[in-house]
Structure 1
Amino acid sequence: MLIGSAHMARILSEVNNDPDLREENISGKIYEKLPVFHSEEWKKDNLNLDHEFTVGYCERTLLESASMGNFTNVMHYLIKAGASVDMKNANGNTVLHTVSTIGLEDGVRILINNNASIDAQDQNNHAPLHLAVANNHVRIVERLIEQGAKVNICNVEQQTPLHLAVNKEIENLLLKGGADPSLKDLSGHTPEYYSMPLSHFNNCS
């Protein structure tokens, strides 16, 4: 049985705003607000903080759901209580992939401060840096590079983050961080090919 995304968000929002929230009671605070079916299923798993709930039509841990709602207090105390920062979902995404895609700077900060794997790769070999670049999250790109993210890491298409950059500020951050503009992807293209204006390809002269 699934729990709706909005319902889970309401639960985590209430817990996030609880002034008495602590590492020692976060499991109980969430447990008492869950629908009976889900609380009983979680109880069978000994309130495992890495238990995957069916939220919407996806399997998500509490940490992933909290990150998607930017519920930073819940994130903080779940991690302190032992939730894994590097557990992957069905698509191979860690929570750092999730917050880098959405653009949640506080979530990125919390995860990095708790030693999340900065270069973890999903099923398409995308690292969080690929996703932050592709979604134009400048400050997250900057933070990941500052924390040592590999700027020449490749996805399954052999594309580095620079291949995905369409923002000049992001391009400059990557180049300053050591990105190699000469690297080619599986199609034989360097990053410059993807940054060319469309008019370049429509010019028959």
Structure 2
Amino acid sequence: MMDLMLIAEAPKEKPCCTLPTVKKLLEEKRRRETSSVPPPCSTAGTNPVPPNTVTQLSLSEPFTCTGASSSYTDMAVSYEQWNPTPEPTLNYFTNHPGPSHATGYSLPMQSEYSPQQQVPEFGDTMFPTFMCPMTVPDPNMASSWSLTQPSFTSSIDTTKLAEARMLLSRMDHNRAAGQDEDGDTILHIYTAKGYRECAFAAAERLKEIGKLDAKEHKGKTALLVAVTANQTEIVQDLLLLGADINACDLKGQTSLHLASHYGFPTVLQVILSCKPGVNLEARNFEGMTPLHCAAISHSVTMKALSASGLLDVSLQTKATQKLSCVQMLLNGGASLHSQEIKSNKTVLHLAVKEGNIELVRYLLNIPLPHMKEFVNMKAHGHTALHMAAGLHGNPHQEEILRLLLNKGADPSIRNLENDQPAHLLQSGPQGDQLKLMLKKRNASSRRRNVSLQDQE
């Protein structure tokens, strides 16, 4: 009754044009940031964030790229964010063999929306207890994620939902259903804040007028904002209400691309549970599938973890979550043979090129009926073995070469420059040792081929 009295006494709604936009809110949040290192956080608070405070987004994960002596970068996709701090750049052909005309790209490892962000001056007095606690995945989950109907989300609070519906009914139409100069609807705002019941009521209102999938200035629907903000429950609510699961933003990124890139397993599980509606092989405007994005993102985290001396627990957890995203996509039906469009790399090429031993081990342990053909697939003339030969100075180079050879990698294959993998090895004692290993395997392969021909 008290809540109803408060609502009845609420001041008259301000015109829609006075509402701060998502862009402005996040810019104000950014200005308030005074520290470059956020405190570790495992879950969103169940209590409302104190007024005029801002919870920082997680830092980007720095890393350095090691490899062969040639220096140039490969293509990829750029994920923009609000933080103006320059992000580290993952150069896919930096210090590796490949086409010299490739271009570089940056891959920031933090979301532009924080699941705990406080948006000042907008609705701070409306339902302050709506900050929805997030379910954090078990860092030891490995590949145990179920792709059936998710059971990790809590039931929506019907009392708060009723209050939210009443609030929406009292708003003028422009504020409740319109878009501001940046294309934000009130649903975008509530979603970015993590106000589940308010977001649900706003989604119902927008669905009635056919604007549930309205896009803001970066082309993001409310669903894409919810995914980027790691708001698992709101993602599920929007999908249940009929949000377009394959909608993409101005970069062609679908909900699968974003969840895979940021490494959000619980969000990814919700999306994958909507099969067969979800397009596992959707391409963003850089020609990458969600599986490619997941592999790239995992490599970035593994490089950051290696640079930290393997002592960073948060990075270890994030690496585990991102590997789980790779596993979930493959278990859900994503194609291991998919090649990104610009340079024809498979997920194996991407893992080998970055010296990502953990991902290489996982991929090569997948039982494939034609593993040899998969291992010897070419990306602009380079096999994975060529790329491994270019990992000069990488501590996992020898192990990656052995793993590939044991799965049928052919050291006699030549690239477009007529080089075999042995020709791309570093000079010096280590390179000579690896070259001898490749030559022995090459000679052994020729003997087997001759033996098979004699038998025929």
TM > 0.5 between the two? yes
Distance of 1:52 and 1:60 partners within structure 2: 5
Equivalent position to 2:327, from 109, 113, 126: 109
Mapping 1:5-84, distance limit 5 Å: 5=81, 8-11=112-115, 17-18=134-135, 20=153, 33-34=191-192, 40-41=214-215, 42=221, 47-54=243-250, 58-82=251-275, 83-84=278-279
Unaligned runs of 5+ in 2: 1-21, 24-79, 82-109, 118-130, 136-151, 156-186, 194-201, 203-210, 216-220, 223-241, 299-321, 392-396, 432-456
Unaligned runs of 5+ in 1: 23-29, 201-205
Q: Once the two structures are aligned, what percentage of the paired residues are identical?
A: 23
Aligned counterpart, 1:153:
377
- My pick for the range that moved more, 177-186 or 162-171, is 162-171
Aligned counterpart, 1:25:
none
TM-score by length of 2: 0.37
Maintained 8 Å contact 1:8/1:65: no
CA shift at 1:48, angstroms?
Answer: 1.3
TM-score by length of 1: 0.77
Maintained 8 Å contact 1:138/1:170: yes
CA shift at 1:40, angstroms?
Answer: 2.2
SS of match in other structure, 2:271 = helix
Aligned counterpart, 1:203:
none
Root mean square deviation, CA, Å: 3.3
Aligned counterpart, 1:136:
355
Deviations 1:41-73 (A, max 9, x none): 348xx621111123xxx3311111111211100
CA shift at 1:87, angstroms?
Answer: 1.0
Mapping 1:146-185, distance limit 5 Å: 146-147=365-366, 148=368, 150-156=374-380, 158-165=381-388, 166=391, 167-185=397-415
Greater fraction helix? 1
Deviations 1:9-28 (A, max 9, x none): 42599989245269xxxxxx
Distance of 1:16 and 1:118 partners within structure 2: 35
CA shift at 1:117, angstroms?
Answer: 0.3
SS of match in other structure, 2:114 = helix
Equivalent position to 2:346, from 124, 127, 130: 127
Distance of 1:194 and 1:171 partners within structure 2: 13
Structure 1 counterpart of 2:282, which letter? M
Is 1:118 aligned to 2:118, yes or no?
no
Structure 1 counterpart of 2:153, which letter? D
Maintained 8 Å contact 1:16/1:71: no
Maintained 8 Å contact 1:67/1:95: yes
SS of match in other structure, 1:120 = coil
Maintained 8 Å contact 2:252/2:283: no
Distance of 1:129 and 1:144 partners within structure 2: 7
Distance of 2:288 and 2:252 partners within structure 1: 12
Equivalent pairs counted in the alignment come to 186
Maintained 8 Å contact 1:70/1:107: yes
Give 1 or 2 for the bigger CA radius of gyration: 2
Pick closer, same or farther for the CA change 1:20–1:122 going to 2, 3 Å.
same
Pick closer, same or farther for the CA change 1:111–1:7 going to 2, 3 Å.
closer
